[in-house]
Amino acid sequence: MRRDGFTLVEILLATSILAFGLLAILAGLTNCAAMMTLSKEYQDAQYVFSLGELKYPMLESTDVEDEVPVDPDSDLVEGYVFERTVEEKELDTNEVDDGLYVVRTKVSWGSAPEQSEELVRYVRQLKGESEKKK
């Protein structure tokens, strides 16, 4: 007796192998698309950093705490917020004040707080005319 074709078990086995292969490819494509979206968001954040630095340059100043900070600005690129804050550097008990300030420039996007990039720099405040004479 001669049989042509495949048995039901062979067809089910081939179908399940094909399904697992397609699921693996689909999962890889999903991860790739998510990574591409994340990469584009970080690239756009770097672009907003650049636009913010052009619009609000950090010039030498005798009053860093008043002239360097930037209130949150969402007009540079839609969906992104640029802001800059200034904090006086914390000193140890024996340390002499060196006039350094911590400047935090932050770009955030989306609704989640972890969707942000921050650049931290130190800026030295220039001595004013009254301090130079002392």
pLDDT per position in the chain (134 positions), as tens?
677 888 899 999 999 999 999 999 999 999 999 999 989 999 999 999 999 999 999 888 788 888 889 999 999 999 999 999 998 877 777 777 777 888 999 999 987 777 899 999 988 888 764 454 44
8 Å CB contact between 58 and 103: yes
Calculate the dihedral angle through the C-alpha atoms of 41, 112, 77, 75, rounding to the nearest 10 degrees.
Answer: -170
Beta bridge partners of 122: 102
**Which residue, 99, 75, 73, is CA-closest to 86?**
99
8 Å CB contact between 86 and 102: yes
Indicate the pTM of the whole model.
Answer: 0.71
CB atoms within 10 A of CB 45: 20
**Which residue, 126, 127, 109, 121, is CA-closest to 37?**
109
